[in-house]
Structure 1
Amino acid sequence: MSEKICVGAIAGAFGVRGEVRLKSFTAIPEDIASYAPLESEDGTRSFSVKVTRQVKNGLAARLSGITTKEEADALRGTQLFVPRDRLPSLPDDEFYHTDLIGLEVTDTGGAPLGKVLSVINNGADDLLELSAPGQKQTVLLPFNKAVVPTVDLAHGRIVADPPEGLFS
């Protein structure tokens, strides 16, 4: 079985006719429907998706088999997954967030800086949240070519040239 990637989550019912409020984690939010059928994490539920409109904090959508507000509300918090092989290939300088999480980060001299806990999009740039050795709090490392010149997925590592004072 191929690896599953989370592409969205159900935030609850939208209206009274079985629509759901859907949070899409795809680059273009409406594209989530093109990856259908979407599955629950355990694979016990599968849904086709029809996006009906954009709403505050997400999309309104119809899911196959969901016809009432109560059924939609019961799905609140359900994460939606697709097999990895259904996602498009990316150019060499783009990465799926899920591929970065867990990678070891070193500086250009090979000294360990930490491990990637998450990727945060702050609107202007992505940030890598690192658990750094000897640090009580996580460190946010800008994720751009100047600061992160090398991402080596094959060897599970990232080489970074962090701004002065970030790790002190």
Structure 2
Amino acid sequence: MPKADRVCVGAIAGAFGVRGEVRLKSFCADPESIAAYGPLWTEDGSRSFDVRLTRPVSGGFGAMLSGVTTKEAADALRGVQLFADRDRLPSLPDDEFYHADLIGLPVQDTGGAAIGTVRAVYNHGAGDILEIFAPGRKSAILLPFTLANVPTVDLKAGRIVADIPEGLD
């Protein structure tokens, strides 16, 4: 598990070239800012890397990671997620949230009844979607993360209030 004070900001898609360059996918709102949040850590915190972006490539960036100097070393990092220390990330406005802060939060309806727990947050280009795991259901609820559907996110109280549209519940 990543440390609670770190947020996933990207992943390594594999080697790019023969000199240790990697193909880096950024999960940041400003994709190029990933290099400014370093050092970036592996999920278990056992390794850290300084990042230097080298060029845009299909689906991300070519990047050099400190300590990675061969194609083999870069290939060995394929699929590794990279985490930044939370205090290196910008503060967000009140109506924006890091996905890591939403995952695991309990969800209740507007009357206070428990619905389930946020298991994941997806974005396939049309906006964020909360995957809510509800005990006793055969499948998760996939709820568009809009103000109409999710009127309240209270990180301090550790809860989300959702108004699930008919047909999704």
What TM-score does the superposition give when structure 2 sets the normalisation length?
0.92
Provide the rounded CA distance (Å) in 2 between the counterparts of 1:86 and 1:142. 29
Equivalence map 1:7-26=2 (5 Å): 7-26=9-28
Which 4+ residue blocks in structure 1 deviate beyond 4 angstroms? Answer: none
Aligned residue for 1:28? 30
What is residue 153 of structure 1 aligned with on the other side? 155
Of 118, 121, 124 in structure 1, the residue corresponding to residue 120 of structure 2 is: 118
For the residues of structure 1 that align with 2:76 and 2:112, how far apart are their CA atoms?
Answer: 49
Q: Could you tell me whether the CA contact under 8 Å between 1:131 and 1:138 is conserved in 2?
A: yes
Partners of 1:138 and 1:53 in 2: how far apart? 39
Query: 1-side partners of 2:124 and 2:46: how far apart?
Result: 34
CA deviations over 1:115-168 (Å, ceiling 9, x no partner) = 10000112111110011232111110110111111001111111111111211x
Report SS of the residue matched to 2:72. helix
Q: Which residue of 2 aligns with 1:81?
A: 83
- Counterpart CA distance in 1 for 2:57 and 2:145 is 30
1:45 Cα deviation (Å)? Answer: 2.1
* Distance in 2 between residues matched to 1:15 and 1:97, nearest whole Å: 32
- Figure out how many residues of one structure are paired with residues of the other and give that number: 167
User: Contact between 1:2 and 1:85, CA under 8 Å: does it hold in 2?
Assistant: no
Alignment partner for residue 70 of structure 2, among 61, 68, 71? Answer: 68
Q: Would you say the 8 A contact 1:2–1:83 is kept in 2?
A: no
Query: What is residue 96 of structure 1 aligned with on the other side?
Result: 98
CA RMSD of aligned residues (A): 1.5
CA distance in 1, matches of 2:112, 2:167: 18
- Tell me the TM-score normalised to structure 1 length: 0.93
The one-letter code matched in structure 1 to 2:21 is E
- Structure 2, unaligned runs of 5 or more: none
Q: Percent identical across equivalent pairs?
A: 69
1:140 equivalent in alignment to 2:142: yes
Q: Which runs of 5+ in 1 are unaligned?
A: none
SS at match of 1:70: helix
